[in-house]
């Protein structure tokens, strides 16, 4: 049982790290010395000088920013709720609150990545750009967070 709890905690922390990295790192869209993320646009000039500007204030980009932040918050709340329930839950009880917050985190990151996929303007005009690793990490975090949430809902506390 202890090994199972350790595995669940490692999965949860891995999801949390992936969410943090995908939210912070400037690699959502890359190509030709140009990288964008949720917060800024960066380009590298021929002299290896990097110029960064704040991302435009599009409503869709603000919704992506908000849902990514919500996914991180829900995942942190889920981890906190797990440790609280681990010590206060009665024998045979299920970790419903923990699972609920983790599933919400997964749905938020899925919404953010889907909105970014549909609304990103450079795809329509430039074919020399591609999605970066932070965007891919966001899509990887979605099934991992859902899996973690489902495991929490199924999990029963034993003595």
Give residue 58's pLDDT.
Answer: 74
Average pLDDT for 40-49: 68
Whole-model pTM: value is: 0.85
pLDDT of residue 139 exceeding 90, the answer is yes
pLDDT digits (tens, 9 = 90+) for 22-34: 998 878 887 777 7
Contact 57, 120 (CB under 8 A): no
CA 19 to chain centre: 3
Domain boundaries, the chain: 2-27+58-154
The pLDDT value recorded for residue 38 is 79
What pLDDT, on a 0 to 100 scale, did the predictor assign at position 144?
95
60-103 tens-digit pLDDT: 888 988 999 999 999 999 999 999 988 888 888 888 999 999 99
């Amino acid at each position: 049982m202890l090994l199972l709890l350790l595995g669940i905690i490692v999965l949860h922390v891995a999801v949390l790290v992936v969410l943090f990295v995908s939210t912070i790192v400037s690699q959502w869209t890359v190509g030709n010395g140009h990288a964008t993320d949720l917060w800024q646009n960066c380009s590298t000039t021929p002299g290896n000088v990097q110029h960064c500007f704040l991302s435009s204030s599009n409503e869709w980009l603000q919704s992506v920013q908000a849902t990514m932040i919500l996914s991180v918050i829900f995942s942190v709340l889920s981890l906190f709720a797990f440790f609280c329930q681990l010590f206060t839950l009665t024998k045979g009880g299920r970790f419903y609150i923990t699972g609920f917050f983790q599933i919400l985190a997964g749905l938020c990151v899925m919404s953010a990545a889907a909105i970014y996929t549909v609304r990103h303007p450079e795809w329509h005009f430039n074919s020399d750009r591609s999605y970066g690793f932070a965007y891919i990490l966001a899509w990887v975090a979605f099934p991992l967070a859902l899996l973690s949430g489902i495991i929490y809902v199924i999990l029963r506390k034993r003595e």
